[in-house]
Amino acid sequence: MSAKAAQKKERQEKILEAAIKAFSINGYHNSTVATIAREAGIADGTMYLYFKGKEELLISAFTFIMDNFLEKLEVKLAEAKNPLEKLKCIVTYHLTELSKDPDRAKFLQLELRQPAESVRRGIAKPLSLYMRKIDSLVEEGKESGMVRKDLPTKVIRRVIFGAVDETISSWIRRKDAAPIGSEAEAVFEVLLGGMAAR
């Protein structure tokens, strides 16, 4: 039975990967179930045995990526010693990880902004987990005296997330093959010390 379950999981992931690829290239609305199915090597109808519909496929794909992303992030974070290092780790990891796989990056950037309310709801939780993670690290930083206490945690978090998000976005816009992990240092330096000269 374990073999069967494994095969099922494998197929599910194949569909998810096909979906991510299709969505990242053409966007959700311009991707057809037929195309995704063909890419995944299954029949159209088979997709509906694994996902309720196209929309659930989108949400599942997003959750799939985010879960994996957050899981690996935790491993990385364990290596960092203090809150600031952990925050730097997040910046580095976010940029490095996403620049590894342009499909995945594009998918996240694009589909994160779905207007359909149902999609927003489905996507909300894993995204929120990430935000909460940053929040808690900022709080820890404040407690340990390494982060300024005169600024709202949420504002700091938005600047951090916005910075990495936009760095990825512009990378995608440029269709630059060059990885952007190397920029993590500079980005974090701005976040840390600000742009003002002293």
Joined tokens for residue 44: 């159209």
Q: Which of 9, 13, 49, 173 binds DNA (CB under 7 A)?
A: 49
Q: Out of DNA, a copy of itself, none, which partner does residue 151 contact, by CB within 5 to 8 A per kind?
A: a copy of itself
Interface with DNA in residues 14-43 (CB under 7 A): 30-34, 42-43
Report angle CA 81, 109, 30 to the nearest 5 degrees: 155
Element of type H or E holding 130 = helix 117-143
**192 part of the interface to DNA, by CB under 7 A:** no
Q: In degrees rounded to 5, what are phi and psi of residue 90?
A: -60, -45
Joined tokens for residue 198: 């002293």
Report angle CA 13, 167, 101 to the nearest 5 degrees: 25
**In whole angstroms, how close is the CB of 26 to DNA at the nearest point?**
9
Closest CB to a copy of itself among 47 and 119?
A: 119
The window from 53-61, 65-73, 149-157, 162-170 that contacts DNA (CB under 7 A) reads 53-61
Joined tokens for residue 122: 């489905």
Q: Out of a copy of itself, DNA, none, which partner does residue 167 contact, by CB within 5 to 8 A per kind?
A: a copy of itself
Q: Out of a copy of itself, DNA, none, which partner does residue 155 contact, by CB within 5 to 8 A per kind?
A: a copy of itself
**103 part of the interface to DNA, by CB under 7 A:** no
**45 part of the interface to DNA, by CB under 7 A:** yes
Closest CB to a copy of itself among 70 and 192?
A: 192
Q: Out of a copy of itself, DNA, none, which partner does residue 164 contact, by CB within 5 to 8 A per kind?
A: a copy of itself
Round to whole Å and give the CA distance between 30 and 27. Answer: 6
- Say if CB 34 and CB 41 are below 8 A apart: no
What does the DSSP assignment read for 54-84? Answer: HHHHHHHHHHHHHHHHHHHHHHHHHH--SHH
What letter represents residue 48's amino acid?
Y
Interface positions with DNA (CB under 7 A): 4, 7-8, 11, 30-34, 42-46, 48-50, 53-55
